[in-house]
Amino acid sequence: MKIIIPYLILSALIFGIYWLIKKIVKRFRKTRESADLEKNFKQVARKARMKRIFLPVYLTLTALVVVFGIVMQINSAQMEKLYFKTYDLAVDFVDIQAPNVGYNSAYINDYGVFTSNLHLDTYKNIDGYHVTWKPLDFPFGTLSMYMSHENYDMYASPQITSNGYYTQKDNQKIATFFQTKVNFKSKDYYGLQPTHEASTFKNQPNELAEIAVTFKEPLTYAQIQALVPKNLLINWYWIGLSDSKNLDAAYNLDYFGLNSDSKTFDNGNANQPTGKLSASSYKTFVKDVNNWPTEQTSSTGEFNPLKDARKQIKKYPTLASAKFSGVILTGQTKNFGTLDDEPWVFATNVGLTTPIVPYVKPLK
């Protein structure tokens, strides 16, 4: 009996401890499961919140990328169209508004996504010699549909001296025409006085020169061919002005006219002027003047050279009816000696000159 009682007490104690431990473990498991459940809930909630935030962002970015790609593709196609349009415009400009100017290369020298620039390396033909002239730039782009006239103006902001106009950057002399009916003694006239520079070549042998010759009265093509000495080359024909008394016109150097027809000569000189004009080349000139964009020509005061040129070609629609107010002649300086003495010459103004070299034969 004494042995049984302690055993029962010990058994009860062990059972109590076991029950207590079991209860504690059960409560711990329950607490842990509750914590895990709360953790899982938070994770699920966090994932749901992330989806709500990032899914719209992802969809928006994807849409932006797609839209950007479409816009860039459209812009690229538009830039390509503008390039060809600008190239055609540049060629037309040289053909109708660049006295005795040609170009030997045309290329893009400023690439951009929305804007670019077409660059022309130009020259003047001096009796068969190609003499470097100021380059021409024709910017274009989807953000600026029209070019600034100042970018490709042949004589933008020229410098003036007592004997002529000079280009701003390279200081090259500009062969200048004159309006015969302008009152050059007027107090309102501040431009260049008529010059007679052909006679100054007497002491300047072994050179080639370019000279703008202004006629006293407009001449027909046939008259010009008969009057110009055969040892001089006619490079360019000036259609003159309809409003010939306008002082604003006297300051304007945006001459309209056309280069003489060209061909390849026997000595290998390609694309050289012949001094002649064909009916088809004059017809093309008339078409190009009529198609030239009005916004691409700047006015001087109340005078607009494009509007005036259109009046001229309306009056003279064909080469047979056309009259010209001047020409640009090139040739050896010794052949210009008596030009100022001719009764049909109002003024002569020198442009570029270049020395004769033994390995290149002049055309005249």
**CA-to-CA distance for 134 and 180, rounded, in angstroms?**
28
Q: Which two tokens stand for residue 335?
A: 């052949």
Reported as a pLDDT band with limits 50, 70 and 90, residue 2 is: very low
Tell me the pLDDT tens digit for each residue of 123-132: 999 999 999 9
17 falls in which pLDDT band (50, 70, 90)? low
Q: Residue 327 contacts by C-beta under 8 Å, 6 or more apart in sequence?
A: 212, 213, 224, 228, 234, 235, 236, 237, 238
Among the ranges 17-26, 73-82, 121-130, which has the highest mean pLDDT value?
A: 121-130
Confidence (pLDDT) at 270: 63
What are phi and psi for residue 29, nearest 5 degrees? -65, -40
CB 351 within 8 A of CB 175: yes
Tens of pLDDT, residue by residue over 87-96, are: 998 999 999 9
pLDDT at residue 261, as a whole number: 92
The model carries a pTM of 0.79
Chain segment 271-301, per-residue pLDDT in tens: 789 999 999 999 999 999 999 887 777 777 7
Give the pLDDT confidence score for residue 250 in this predicted structure.
74
Are 252 and 300 in contact by the 8 Å Cβ rule? The answer is: yes
